[in-house]
Amino acid sequence: MASTNFIYSSDPGLIIGFHGCSQELRDNVVIGKTSLRQSNNTWDWLGDGIYFWQNNYDRAFHYANNPPPKVKISTPSVIGAVFSLGNCLDFTDKKYIDLLKFSYETLEKTTKLEGTELPANTNPKENEKSNDKIIRRLDCAVIKNIHKQMGILGEPPFDSVRGVFFEGNELYKGAGFLDKTHIQICIRNPNLIKGYFIPRKEVKWP
């Protein structure tokens, strides 16, 4: 795979992200009593890490009010976080989109040699006809393979992973926009998180 070594792939600034959770967890994290824990499910969209919706309070709050079937959230709420991306595996960048494809191809070859099968992206039984395939075991495996290969090669680990997801239904007939499109960020290195906050509402000014 051809690759460039330009220095512009990393976002140099701070980013605001939002995480849907219970009010109790939000308050305990803000006062430093506990921390958000990393998700490490085999179906996570961006692999292992702490997940945030980039600049998207409403989507985080929607998640808190509509969690997956096996997740219970009492008093749905949202916690905000300020973080940097560090060394980011950024799937808005062609360089890393190509790397993702390369990882899939190598993983596919490995499974064929081993006589095994790749996992698949699927839908839950209650929503089998959805186009979104929200149980993303294949994507998760391909991303984790990137991290594994980076370790084998002695390359610096990725601190975070970012992806754009075109999800949901057309906003109108023939639209190029879907109603659940969002940018999701997975923080692998917790030291990227500079602080947490309770989101505040806009006040009238002037």
Using 50, 70 and 90 to split pLDDT, how confident is the model at 4? low
Residues above pLDDT 90, as percent of the chain: 88
Q: Is pLDDT at 7 greater than 70 in this prediction?
A: no
Choose among 92, 94, 79: nearest CA to 29. 79
Q: Is pLDDT at 1 greater than 70 in this prediction?
A: no
At 69, the amino acid letter reads P
Using 50, 70 and 90 to split pLDDT, how confident is the model at 96? very high
Q: What is the pLDDT of residues 25-62, one digit of tens each?
A: 999 999 999 999 999 999 999 999 999 999 999 999 99
Strand duo 88-90 + 160-165: pairing: parallel
Q: Is pLDDT at 2 greater than 60 in this prediction?
A: no
Residues above pLDDT 70, as percent of the chain: 95
Under a CB-based contact definition with an 8 Å cutoff, are residues 25 and 34 in contact? Answer: yes
Q: What is the pLDDT of residues 155-176, one digit of tens each?
A: 999 999 999 999 999 999 999 9
Choose among 187, 150, 151, 180: nearest CA to 46. 187
Choose among 201, 70, 55: nearest CA to 135. 70
Q: What is the mean pLDDT of residues 93-108?
A: 97
Cβ-based neighbour number of residue 64 at 10 Å: 22
Type and span of the H or E element at 162: strand 160-165
Q: What is the mean pLDDT of residues 145-151?
A: 97
Whole-angstrom distance, CA of residue 150 vs CA of residue 188: 14
Average pLDDT, the chain: 93
pTM: 0.92
The predicted pLDDT at position 126 comes to 80
8-state DSSP, 112: H
Burial of 132 (0-12, 13-18, 19+ CB in 10 A): middle
Using 50, 70 and 90 to split pLDDT, how confident is the model at 6? low
